[in-house]
Amino acid sequence: MSKNDAVAEIVSKPYKYGFLTDIETEKIEKGINENIIRLISKKKKEPPFLLEFRLKAYKQWINLKEPDWAEIGYPPINYQDIIYYAAPKDIEKKKSLEEVDPELLETFEKLGIPLNEQKRLSNVAVDAVFDSVSIATTFKEKLAEDGVIFCSIAEAVQSYPDLIEKYLGSVVPKNDNFFAALNSAVFSDGSFVYIPKGVKCPMELSSYFRINSGDTGQFERTLIIAEEGSSVSYLEGCTAPMFDTNTLHAAVVELIALDDASIKYSTVQNWYSGNEDGKGGIYNFVTKRGHCRGKKSKISWSQVETGSAITWKYPSCILQGEESIGEFYSVALTNNKQIADTGTKMIHIGPKTKSTIISKGISAGYSKNSYRGLVQIGSKAKGSKNYSQCDSLLIGNQAEANTYPYINSRQLKTNVEHEASTSKISEEQLFYLQSRGISNEEAVSMMVSGFCREVLNQLPLEFASEADSLMALKLEGTVG
């Protein structure tokens, strides 16, 4: 097998999560207007402040323009042709899992996320979101012993409205951008995490997002608050069935870290990416932002982006607290006609803040993979440091790798370093490995895996089931 064949095989493994669950869902009519928003809010029995939040966001959204600066080039989205709320029927949050539709449990089991008591992943609490609603959250009681709140946003709105009112939209304002405003108006569900003062969360928290309906947009909202001296590691996974239409996913994630708190947020994004000709797939337009409010707080983003027709997201850190730390570790793999435009923003406001950016892009087929990042050092960020590294690996001569690292500094006492490289799989290295008796395929796989190692090392071990989707792409660990 020639080198190119081996590479082609490795990067074009079929999508194994493309099945559709046949389940009766309740959907509202297509389109977006004030009545739809009132209806969503009513269905979720929301307090008045939240309805107001949604309506204000909607009014602002109407006046916002869909951004085009990234030159991503997708056909216009008809926002009136999307269903903004879909839920499996009778899914009023069940007290125990036995009451949950077995079909749903089976779906998540197929995805490698067993929700059943016996089969649960040890030491990982899971919130499973199916289309617009949260199906189940495991280990809730155990977490509650430590005062940790882990539930769906909808539940949090009912049980902890004060926290929601205080923090929702405080990091990503409702009019932050076009897609964040849309999300603020129609967000359906998502996860809510609250770690009280001084608590180290005893287990990994994880949300699993599944889009099932083809005509439904998914607009989940995640809010994580880490009080003083607390810490948490949160994992997020995503899959969707194969449809030949494009589905919009516009999520908003807000993280807040107070003094000495630390949040680690990991994502394995494996939405359906469309077929070889680029038909179908998810438009993944996400706003993720963390706010290091407290002194010595830390927010770390790690992501493995392998799915979606178009990924457009920049998980960012606002480093306000003195000596706060922001990190961004990313692997983005694109194939066929996928587009990934991803990167981060590190906004240094407070003194002695530090940030690290490690981004690895792998583009194969006819795909387009861009790193776009901003490092901004404000005038008060004395003694701040940033180190950025973004490397690209090109496989095949039709793929595109772009790098747009932007640095803005207004402070003398800083140190900003950026380096980047673009290269292909080196013939010499490949030859060397093969001469040691390693097959072509394994050699390529080893090299890709070595290329991503710095990032993959950041993923929590417990993310085993999600890392599995990586294995499917043979990015990692196929060599015994």
Partner 1 sequence: MNPQNTQEKIDSFSLPDRKSESWRKIDIKRIKQIINLSEGEEEEEGDNSNNLPVIADNSFRIILRTGVNDIDINKLPEGLELITTSEIREYINQSINKLDHKDDWGIKLNNKAKTQTFGLRIKKNNKVSLEIVIPEKINKLKAMRLLFIVEESSKFNLLEVITGETYSAHSVVSEMIIKENAIVNHGMIAVSKGKSTLLAKRSVSQEINSNYSFSFINQGWNLSRIEPEIVQLKGQATTYLRGLQIAQENQQLSTFSKIKFNGPDGNLNQLQKSMIENSAHSIFNGIIDVPQIAQRTNAAQLTKNLLLTEKGQVDTKPELRIIADDVKCTHGATISELEEEELFYLQSRGLKSSDATNLIIKGYAKDILDYFPLKISRWSSLNPLFIQ
Sequence-ordered list of residues with C-beta below 8 angstroms from that of 122, at least 6 positions apart, any chain: none
**Which positions from 58 through 77 interact with partner 1, judged by CB under 8 A?**
69
What binding mask, one character per residue, do residues 258-287 give for partner 1 by CB under 8 A, x or -? ------------------------------
49 close to 70: Cβ distance less than 8 angstroms: no
Residue 147, sorted as left (phi over 0), alpha (psi -120 to 50) or beta, turns out to be left
- Backbone torsion region of residue 260, taken as left when φ is above 0, otherwise alpha when ψ lies between -120 and 50, otherwise beta: left
Closest CB 362 distance from partner 1, rounded Å: 11
Structure tokens at 307: 């799915």
Any contact of residue 42 with partner 1 (CB under 8 A)?
no
CB of 254 to partner 1, least distance (A): 27
Closest CA to 231 of 248, 207, 255: 255
By beta-carbon proximity to partner 1, the closer residue of 44 and 337 is 337
Which of 21/369 has CB closer to partner 1? 369
Contact present, 129 and 220 (Cβ < 8 Å): yes
Contact 118, 132 (CB under 8 A): no
Cα–Cα nearest to 261, from 316, 224, 222 = 224
Degrees to nearest 5, angle at CA 218 with 304 and 335: 35
Q: Which is nearer to partner 1, 416 or 475 (CB)?
A: 416
**Do β-strands 25-27 and 246-249 pair in parallel, antiparallel, or remain unpaired?**
unpaired
Closer residue to partner 1, CB minimum distance, 375 or 473: 375
Write each residue from 408 to 437 as x if it is in contact with partner 1 (CB under 8 A), else as -, in one continuous string: xxxxxxxxxxxxxxxxx-------------
- The answer to whether 259 and 296 are in contact (CB under 8 A) is yes
Q: Write the DSSP symbol of residue 118.
A: T
Residue 123 near residue 257, CB atoms below 8 Å: no
Least distance between partner 1 and beta carbon 357 (Å): 12
CB 96 to partner 1: min, Å:
54
Rule CB under 8 A: which of 147-166 touch partner 1? none
Kindly state the number of chain residues that form the binding site for partner 1, as judged by CB under 8 A: 35
CB of 176 to partner 1, least distance (A): 18
Query: Residue 377 or 459: which CB sits closer to partner 1?
Result: 377
CB of 446 to partner 1, least distance (A): 19
Q: How far is the CB of 165 from partner 1 (least distance, A)?
A: 36
Report in angstroms how near the CB of residue 343 gets to partner 1 at its nearest: 12
- Of residues 354-413, which lie at the interface with partner 1 (CB under 8 A)? 377, 379, 392, 394-413
Q: What is the closest distance, in whole angstroms, from the C-beta atom of residue 410 to partner 1 in the complex?
A: 5
Are 308 and 336 a contacting pair, CB within 8 Å? no
Distance between start and end Cα atoms, the chain: 20
Pick 72 or 472: Cβ nearer partner 1: 72
Q: Which is nearer to partner 1, 384 or 465 (CB)?
A: 384
In contact, 338 and 308? CB cutoff 8 Å: yes
- The nearer residue to partner 1, 90 or 419, going by C-beta atoms, is 419
Indicate the residue among 247 and 386 with the shorter CB distance to partner 1. Answer: 386
Residues facing residue 314 across a β-bridge: none
Query: In the complex, which residues of this chain contact partner 1 (CB under 8 A)?
Result: 69, 377, 379, 392, 394-424
